[in-house]
Chains A and B, each alone.
Chain A
Amino acid sequence: MKPKHVLVDLRAQSKTFFRIKSNLFWVFAFPLLLIIIFGAIFSNLGSETVTLNVQDLDDGPGSFALLKGLNQTGMVKLRFIDPSTDLEQYIKDNSLAFVMVIPANYSDNLGTNTTATVELRMDETVSTSGTVYNVVNAVVDATNIQMSGGQEYVTIEVKSIVQKRFTYLDFFVPGVIGLTVMTTCVFSMQGTISRFRAAGIFRKLATTPMTPFEWLLSRMIWYLFISLLTLAIIMGFGILLFGMTMTLNLPALLLVVAGSAMFSALGMIVARFVKNEETASTAANAITFPMMFLSGTFFQMEMMPDYMQTIASVLPLTYLSQGLRDAMAYDNLNGAYWNLLVVGAIAIVFVVVAVLITKWEED
């Protein structure tokens, strides 16, 4: 293998890539548009306050002070539920996302320096749940400090099945990175191979000293570079515009490397078996489109029926997106490495198959 051949092809790719405007849109602008649109829809961007439903069973000076504090934050809009209302039924009937219950003995407990517990019922799948928790928590902290310099007289008991506090964007953005890696690599590789075949470029390259392996290597390096560039741009965008806290760590980088190799190889395999340019594009769509929706890019897989979850479990994008989420948003390194293992194994199989079946001489 001659590195010079790889460099020659990389140089040509870099020039070509940035000269085609549609490349810049699909690889960089489109993911950002997705984030803006879905972020706006699911993050309640533009609404100034979040509605917090309150059932005040105390109705005393203590609860009055707590509610006044919450009001003063300007971040929640309080909506009161009659103390005699059956709360469970009311939540169900009105599909409430956030309900705070102030117990009947709240003021009495504060008066006797006994811990009083405010119950906060939340639907964590709603993206603003983290905001609500933080606001209530801040007001409770302020109450504690005001009463005795740090002694916790008031505590919050969060009733929830899921304890993680992450926003929809925390979930969505790593998924968009995975999605972009997939579409960039599959479509670029499939499209390039189909186009080069039709244009006689492979026949021409076959008469040069460049080998198919050198060409494949160059392409995979280039798509990896584009994937990493996408990762950086999307991350920067999420941090600057949405104030997200995302971690760029080793497993995240390795996942992008393995994911890029996996999907580049998949693009090669598609192009090898479907020779017509248009049919190859349709085949690539047929493979990537279901993955886009079934692999949990836009919504959590737990929301899907069991049989769809089973399908998702065999789709490579599922593991790439979940791994990126674990690594970048959830701080779950064990989960990230497990998913990396799966993505890496699939990538090895795909790359080996792609290299074995790719040749540019005809039979």
Chain B
Amino acid sequence: MAESVIEVNGLVKRYGDLTAVNGIDLEVKAGEVYSILGPNGAGKTTSVEIMECLRIKTAGQVRILGYDIDKQQKEIRKRIGVLPQSFNAFDYLTVKENIDYFGDLFDQRLDAEELIEAVQLQDKRNVWFINLSGGLKQRVGVAISMVNDPELIFLDEPTTGLDPKARREVWDVIRKLKSKNKTVILTTHYMEEAEVLSDRVAIMNDGNFITMGTPRQIIDQYGAGSTCVVKSANEAAKGAVKGAGMAFEIKDGDLWVKLDDKGSLAKLVGLLSSAEVTYDEILIKGSTLEDVFLKLTGRKLVEVEQ
């Protein structure tokens, strides 16, 4: 069984009357990609910044790579890599110079060229950071977080504000980290990101973990099953579904029919076979972590501008 690289028990962080983190427990095993998912203000960043030795906890016990966060911060800092939220490196240094800057601060470091290759920035190595796109900047950030060859890497919202293409490029880099057997803690408010990249996920809201497990376990436990989306369905289709007593919703002119069991799909297909019914296409949609979050909190896990 893999060893625990993070052990958190009863972690609390208060700012005056505000409780940002309310007694969370967490255990992360070596080699895992573990996502902490939640909306802005949920307490994700505060929690990981305590684990990164950037904030002082109010209460609780935290051990990182076996070291006590209260007494052995120096040892922890040597062994972890951190990409802070909204991180921007030095604007007027090149990609390579930025990596070398942070690398030279450590006694043991990886070669800049090796890291540049890992994040696929070979053709940008001599470009100033300020002239890179958002996605490329985040890849530089990831490379910098790996510069001391850490066992554990914290990536705090590495894809916030990026376009879908750039986001997927960062995902590729995170997958590479996993393939190298690194443990990655990823905070995000993109449920798709957590679902695609993570071995395990903890969903956080108002300073508490409301559930944790593998994405599949969580969806199976709290998800609402599958939904059939009938695009541009006409009134006859809606009437047929309603008449059959099936649960449904109308969204933007589409008919969303809940599939409670295997038989309901066959039943729906039968209803849609009627000559009066017209529609453009039929899609089957499974439950997502977004649905789970909505079910557990009554709120949507939407991206809010920083």
Contacts and interface: CB of A to CB of B under 8 A. Distances in A.
Interface in B56-90: 56, 74, 77-78, 80-90
A68 interface: no
Contacts of B102: 204, 208
Given A20-B92, A204-B87, A209-B106, A362 B54 contact: yes
Contacts of A240: none
Contacts of A200: 84-88
B106 A201 contact: no
A205 B84 CA distance: 10
B249 to A, nearest CB: 42
Given A207-B54, A362-B49, A201 B90 contact: yes
B56 A207 contact: no
A201 B88 contact: yes
Nearest to B52: A207
A88 interface: no
B101 interface: yes
Nearest to B15: A363
Interface residues of A, number: 24
A114 interface: no
B84 A12 contact: no
Contact of B56 (A4, A12, A16, A361): A361
A207 B141 CA distance: 13
Contacts of A201: 87-90
Contacts of A15: 92-93, 97
Contacts of B49: 203, 362
Nearest to A5: B105
A4 B87 CA distance: 24
B117 interface: no
A209 B105 contact: yes
Interface in A182-228: 198-201, 203-210
A361 B55 contact: yes
Contact of A16 (B82, B90, B106): B90
A264 to B, nearest CB: 19
Contact of B101 (A8, A20, A203): A8
Contact of B53 (A9, A20, A204, A207): A207
Contacts of A5: 105
Given A204-B84, A207-B82, A19 B56 contact: no
A363 B56 contact: yes
B65 to A, nearest CB: 14
Interface in B105-131: 105-107, 128
A361 B53 contact: yes
The prevalent SS among residues of A at the interface is helix
Interface string A12-50: 100110011000000000000000000000000000000
A204 B103 CA distance: 12
B171 to A, nearest CB: 21
A286 B86 CA distance: 30
By CB atoms of chain B within 10 A, which of A5, A16, A207, A362 has the most? Answer: A207
A16 B85 contact: no
Contact of B128 (A4, A19, A203, A361): A19
A146 to B, nearest CB: 67
B144 interface: yes
Contacts of A206: 53-54
Contacts of B89: 199, 201
A4 B86 CA distance: 28
Nearest to B49: A362
Contacts of B128: 19
B104 interface: yes
Nearest to B86: A200
Nearest to B104: A8
A16 B92 contact: yes
B90 A207 contact: no
Nearest to A202: B84
A207 B101 CA distance: 14
17 contacts: A5-B105, A8-B101, A16-B93, A200-B84, A200-B85, A203-B54, A203-B87, A204-B144, A205-B105, A206-B53, A206-B54, A208-B77, A209-B74, A209-B106, A209-B107, A361-B55, A362-B49
Given A16-B91, A203-B54, 19 more contacts: A5-B105, A8-B101, A8-B105, A12-B90, A15-B97, A198-B86, A199-B86, A200-B84, A203-B82, A203-B84, A203-B87, A204-B82, A204-B87, A207-B53, A208-B102, A209-B105, A209-B106, A361-B53, A362-B49
Interface of A: 4-5, 8-9, 12, 15-16, 19-20, 198-201, 203-210, 361-363
